[in-house]
Structure 1
Amino acid sequence: MDISIIIVNYNTLNLTKKAIDSIFEYSPKNLDIEVVVVDNASTDGSKDYFEHDSRIIYIYSDENLGFGRANNIGINKSDAKYIFLLNSDAYLIEDVLTPFYNFMENPEHQNAACCGANVIDGNGNNAVIGGNLPSVKESIARLGFAGLFIPYYKRYMASGIKHYPDRGTFYEIGCVTGANMFLRKSILVETGAFDPDFFLYYEETEMSFRFKKHGYKSYILANHKVVHLEGSSSKKPAINKVVERYYSQGRYLYFEKSHGKSSARFVTLLFGVQSILFGIFKFKKVHFTRAKIIFNTLR
């Protein structure tokens, strides 16, 4: 098997259907691929639909395992040379599997653990492709509101990177977004796949940190695109407390596992202080709510 494509579904029946259809529309004929859908206990009719889709391998979990653990099920069952993780709210608009495969097969790129495409949203605008690996320095720079220390902040900015148009057709990045990760299975076996302690957010960042620790790299293939619909809805609450909690917990775990517990506590305090200062200077209650959630991560 050349490529196992893994999609984690959680009550996203229609989006997952679109992702699967796009794979079969743009899959190359010369590569041996399989599509594995791991379902996190969906209750939206996904089970009834996908267990009858003969194109895919469908695995239903009786509990919501989160992003990383669900992907690990598919990864562990695969005997393919490469793993392609595609979010359920992402889809293909071109054949990216061939350039991904050829890039990783190139002898000059044998130290590549992962590659991904340039990501766009549903309107064709550049979306998040990934980021640098977060550091304590970056967190300190964020406390400067990205205003007092703009050059320093940009240097260490860890998230929200949308594209590097001046870096050529491919370039190294700290971490490819989990929306589209093309992974070398042999390196996953060596370094480990997703840490099961993470439920949602920062799991691909921590895994990429381990890639780098073992001397491997991640890349963006800038001339190829994948659509990711995350954040495309215009109707959002001011703050989603559940998402904020998972995000803060994920960030704490990342720093604890990659930089130590003291760094994790320090960074968490910095982000909490930053939210309070934003609340004071921007006169918005949402920042105080976010600060409370962040500080609760320390308990």
Structure 2
Amino acid sequence: MPILPSVAVVILNWNGKAFLEKFLPSVCASTYGNLQLVLADNASTDDSVAFVRANYPAVSIIQNPRNDGFAGGYNDALQHVKADIYVLLNQDVAVEPGWIEPVVALMQSDPRIAACQPKMRAYHQPDEFEYAGAAGGWMDVLGYTFCRGRILYTTEKDNGQYDDVQDIFWATGAALFIRSACFHEVGGFDRDFFAHMEEVDLCWRLQRAGYHICYCPDSKVFHVGGGSLPQGNPRKLYLNFRNNLMMLWKNLHSEDRWIVLSQRFFLDILAGVKSLVAGKPRDMTAIYRAYRDYCRWRKRYVKKDQLPEMKLMKMRGVFHGIMIWRYYFLRRKKFSELI
């Protein structure tokens, strides 16, 4: 019998006792045969670590000295985890017993697959795809991200329409399977992101390194979403705008960088005006702060990787059009209508 790759499910926690009480039992019921479970705690101030230590002694605990967000927290914790495959799992995700096996089998079928995600359904509407990952992440030519099964805030019901294995542009950080060697080869997450978009940036770098990102429909998980920052929170909006701009500057081919970012600047101004007209001045302020801090970041940015440049249009999981144009003006709100 072939030896199963070692898998470590690593749950990043920050003051998440309520989520751990609810969802950790399903994770502990996983049936994979070569598995370790790890809680990576980001300096929580509640008693979540004591709770896990008392009730789940088989779960290893890594305590980070401070809260450096999703990116820094995982980077620090994964220095202490030895496994062939990491599974980075949000604290607000419920899983089924056999959820790991199909993804590992898919990754083992092709050594070029560096990262993979399962089908992501909404915990509170289990027949619908969930915002954070749905059936795999895509990106358009201007850097706007969306998913098979979710475009902007419109999610689809899962009727089996995306039950095919497919290359995607990015895999959700809420349930990210990634080869540990590949994670460290490209430098892990970018700490400057803190939270949001860091998994998209990581997957972009993995593609630039020659790897594939895949979606595995035979595994499904159920995500609450918004456990740290709910949708509509100006802080989330700020991080999404700032980090998306940083990601584009870092990863776009040098010939495309100014063309794309100048178009984004115009469209983001429109987004800010739309927020103001809609009576959401805090959203407009968040967009302004995102651009301000992105410009400050760019002044001090030093290239961190030596990966080859790659034209975005030649990468997998890229829509060769402008998603927001088709969504708002052509009213195409399903992935099958968009592509």
What TM-score, normalized by structure 2, do the two folds share?
Answer: 0.72
Say which SS state the counterpart of residue 176 (structure 1) adopts.
coil
Say which SS state the counterpart of residue 60 (structure 1) adopts.
strand
1:229 to 188, 205, 224: 224
- Structure 1 residue 255 and structure 2 residue 248: aligned? yes
Alpha carbons of structure 1 residues 271 and 94: separation in structure 2 relative to 1, 3 Å: farther
1:48 to 45, 50, 61: 50
Identity of aligned residues (%): 21
Say which SS state the counterpart of residue 174 (structure 1) adopts.
coil
| Contact 2:43–2:67 (8 Å) recurs in 1 | yes
Q: 2:238 aligns to what?
A: 245
- Structure 1 residue 121 and structure 2 residue 127: aligned? no
Aligned-residue offset at 1:135: 3.9
| Contact 2:275–2:281 (8 Å) recurs in 1 | yes
| Contact 1:131–1:174 (8 Å) recurs in 2 | yes
Amino acid at match of 1:228: H
Counterparts of 1:98 and 1:296, CA distance in 2: 45
Unaligned runs of 5+ in 1: 143-152
Alpha carbons of structure 1 residues 278 and 34: separation in structure 2 relative to 1, 3 Å: same
Aligned-residue offset at 1:37: 0.9
Q: Residues 50-91 of structure 1, C-alpha deviation per residue, up to 9 Å, x if partnerless? A: 333311111112210110221123322222111111011112
Q: Residues 211-244 of structure 1, C-alpha deviation per residue, up to 9 Å, x if partnerless? A: 11011111111232101101499xx78x423222
Q: 1:132 aligns to what?
A: 138
- Structure 1 residue 6 and structure 2 residue 10: aligned? yes
Alpha carbons of structure 1 residues 180 and 275: separation in structure 2 relative to 1, 3 Å: same
After the TM superposition, which of the residue ranges 193-202 and 257-266 deviates more from structure 2?
A: 257-266
Unaligned runs of 5+ in 2: 297-339
| Contact 1:119–1:162 (8 Å) recurs in 2 | no
Alpha carbons of structure 1 residues 223 and 245: separation in structure 2 relative to 1, 3 Å: same
Q: 1:145 aligns to what?
A: none
1:173 to 164, 168, 171: 168
Alpha carbons of structure 1 residues 62 and 232: separation in structure 2 relative to 1, 3 Å: closer
1:70 to 62, 70, 73: 73
Q: Residues 266-289 of structure 1, C-alpha deviation per residue, up to 9 Å, x if partnerless? A: 366235312134246656545534
Alpha carbons of structure 1 residues 66 and 134: separation in structure 2 relative to 1, 3 Å: farther
Counterparts of 1:188 and 1:295, CA distance in 2: 29
Once superposed, what is the RMSD of the aligned Cα atoms?
A: 3.2
Counterparts of 1:162 and 1:253, CA distance in 2: 27
Alpha carbons of structure 1 residues 51 and 171: separation in structure 2 relative to 1, 3 Å: same
Q: 2:25 aligns to what?
A: 21
Counterparts of 2:104 and 2:193, CA distance in 1: 28
Alpha carbons of structure 1 residues 197 and 178: separation in structure 2 relative to 1, 3 Å: same
What TM-score, normalized by structure 1, do the two folds share?
Answer: 0.80
2:266 to 245, 266, 270: 270
- The count of aligned residue pairs is 278
